Amino acid sequence: MRFFKTWVVLMLAVFFIACGSSESTNTNSSQSAPPVASAPPANSNASEPPAPISVPSSNANQSTDAKPMEEKKEAKADAKPEPKVSGAAVFVAQKCGLCHGPDGKGKVKDVPDFTSAAWQKKTSDAAMTEQIKKGMLPKMPAYEGKVSDAEIKALIGYIRSFAK
């Protein structure tokens, strides 16, 4: 019987806390403290009073957490994801392997060996970008307008992987 009475009192306390917190959502949380309720003692013979239960107001959470969440959403909305481009796919699609070979060692006379550490060291990414865009006459055609900057960047990354 004592358990039943304690359970009923506890349920009533939870009900009043729940109902009371919905009323506090319309008030300004910066001016009022969050409601505090104490749970009824489980044993009426207990000598120590129970610790108070703090129920945070929903406005308090909104005022502290809303701005960072909004900033994160705005940052995600503003950021345009770069398309994932495979350098290997560009290498195959543009038929680079016909002259440079599928392994990057070069199949045609005067074509650089991409596996050479010396060639990799002396050739900058900017120089490769320029060579891809403008071509290397008379043998290598210009790819400016045929491939995007993202594809060129991916292709250079793939060319760099031959030396590894």
Q: How many CA atoms lie within 13 A of 70 on its CB side?
A: 6
pLDDT tens by residue, 129-143: 999 999 988 888 999
pTM for this predicted structure: 0.50
Most confident of 25-34, 53-62, 146-155: 146-155
CB count in 10 Å sphere of residue 16: 12
Cα separation, 62 vs 58, whole angstroms: 6
User: What pLDDT, on a 0 to 100 scale, did the predictor assign at position 164?
Assistant: 72
Average pLDDT, the chain: 73
pLDDT tens by residue, 79-109: 555 568 888 888 888 888 888 988 998 888 8
Lookup: tokens for 93: 């699609």
* Domains located in the chain, CATH noted: 2-78 (no CATH), 87-161 (1.10.760.10)
Q: Pseudo-torsion of CA 93, 96, 99, 100, nearest 10°?
A: -130
Helix boundaries (H) for 24-140: 58-78, 87-93, 97-100, 117-122, 125-134
Short-list 98, 152, 105, CA closest to 125: 152
CB count in 10 Å sphere of residue 132: 24
In this predicted structure, the answer to whether residue 6 has a pLDDT above a threshold of 90 is no
User: What pLDDT, on a 0 to 100 scale, did the predictor assign at position 124?
Assistant: 93
Q: Phi/psi of residue 52, each to 5°?
A: -70, 150
Cα separation, 114 vs 124, whole angstroms: 13
In this predicted structure, the answer to whether residue 122 has a pLDDT above a threshold of 70 is yes
